Amino acid sequence: MPRIVRRHRSSGFTLMEILIVIAIIALIIAFFLMNFKTQIDKGRDAQRKSDLTAIRKAFEEYYNDHDCYPPADILNNCGGPELQPYLRAIPCDPSSHQPYLYVPESNICTGYRTCTQLRVDADPDIETLGCNPVTGCGWGAGYNYCISSGVSVVASGFDPMAAPTPTSAPPPGGYACSPGGVCNSYAPPAIWTCPVTFADPNCLNMCAPLANRCTI
């Protein structure tokens, strides 16, 4: 009698099956990482809003004692004691550890804005304020959330729907922010790799943000 040979299918996985499983696992991990990052960003944005609220409270208490708001460079020393006794330490951005933006009026006693950059572009507060997630509120690209007192949050004439101004074509002016955050005269600023220039010799008090500083 001829011998019957039985063929048994291997119980192992094929290469294609293994690759499919790896791809599925990678997608699941990517989904959880993206969700985790979003939650971190939301938490830090909540801290940024809380910091600006604390600064506003300190500024108003300062105003009650001095009939004016603090000087334009008051927030520059991030983590410093300059606002004591109204605030123990000047808050820093929880991610970049840089100072928040302070934009007082030319008459510093009449009003101001303090601004930050929220990382969650879909935050409804941005649109409610009349700002744009990318171009901001008119005080520099990225500064898309501000608190104000005595004045409007949004800069006069700012259009939140307008396309961003290319950084390669800064407005004319002979002054720019040094890498150390000091407004200096540059002639011409373009050769010094300055992202933005000013006609104002004080650079409109906009040298605190690193994005406004020359690289050399």
Does 205 reside within a domain?
yes
Token pair 């000013």 is at which residue?
Answer: 198
Co-location of 156 and 180 in the same domain: no
pLDDT in tens, 157-181: 888 887 665 444 344 566 778 777 7
213 Cβ partners below 8 Å, 6+ apart? 177, 178, 179, 180, 181, 194, 195, 207
The mean pLDDT value for 107-135 works out to 93
Residue-range definition of the domain harbouring residue 143: 51-164
Co-location of 58 and 150 in the same domain: yes
Co-location of 159 and 175 in the same domain: no
Co-location of 191 and 119 in the same domain: no
pLDDT in tens, 61-111: 999 999 999 998 899 898 999 999 999 999 999 988 889 999 999 899 999
What single-letter amino acid sits at 74?
I
pLDDT at residue 6 is higher than 60? no
DSSP code of residue 174: S
Co-location of 65 and 152 in the same domain: yes
Does 98 reside within a domain?
yes
Co-location of 172 and 130 in the same domain: no
Task: State the pLDDT at residue 5.
Answer: 52
Does 2 reside within a domain?
no
Calpha distance 204→125 (Å, rounded)? 26
Co-location of 142 and 175 in the same domain: no
Co-location of 111 and 189 in the same domain: no
The tally of domains found in the chain comes to 2
Domain-terminating residue out of 138, 164, 190? 164
Domain-terminating residue out of 142, 164, 186? 164
Does 209 reside within a domain?
yes
Co-location of 206 and 140 in the same domain: no
Does 22 reside within a domain?
no
- Tokens for 10, please give them: 């291997």
**Closest to 115 measured CA to CA, from 204, 52, 45:** 52
Q: What is the pTM of this model?
A: 0.64
Does 197 reside within a domain?
yes
Higher per-residue confidence, 7 vs 114 = 114
pLDDT at residue 45 is higher than 50? yes
Co-location of 140 and 117 in the same domain: yes
Calpha distance 129→125 (Å, rounded)? 6
Co-location of 110 and 169 in the same domain: no
Does 36 reside within a domain?
no
Co-location of 120 and 76 in the same domain: yes
